[in-house]
Amino acid sequence: VDVGSNAGRFLYLAERSGFNSVGVEPSKPLAKIGVENFNLNIKNCKLEDSDFLPSSIDIITAIDVFEHLINPKNFLDKSHEILKDDGILVIKVLFVLF
């Protein structure tokens, strides 16, 4: 699962590399671009509101997403719920010095 998948660039590469991938994108216009133009599986929602089954996901990526979350604990709780016991959560945070 790629959280904050935007229009699906990372998702597209994951699919082409053989991964069975799903995107989660709260922006309806961006999700629509990935679905309609690139035939990607992108859910238009936040991870916290998604319908993934418990312990069903191998990997969750959140690239430059975590710093935008209003309630990171809800995100982490949902991630823990849907990841398999040996699942992996990848978080990359954008850090900018002013």
pLDDT band at residue 64, thresholds of 50, 70 and 90? very high
Q: Give the predicted TM-score (pTM) of the model.
A: 0.92
Q: In whole angstroms, give the CA distance from residue 59 to residue 71.
A: 21
Nearest to 7 by CA among 41, 31, 28: 31
Between CA 81 and CA 90 the distance in angstroms is 15
pLDDT, tens digit (0-9, with 9 covering 90-100), for 18-48: 999 999 999 999 999 999 999 999 999 999 9
* Angle (deg, nearest 10), helices 9-16 and 28-38: 30
**Which carries the bigger pLDDT value, residue 98 or residue 71?**
71
Does 65 have pLDDT greater than 80? yes
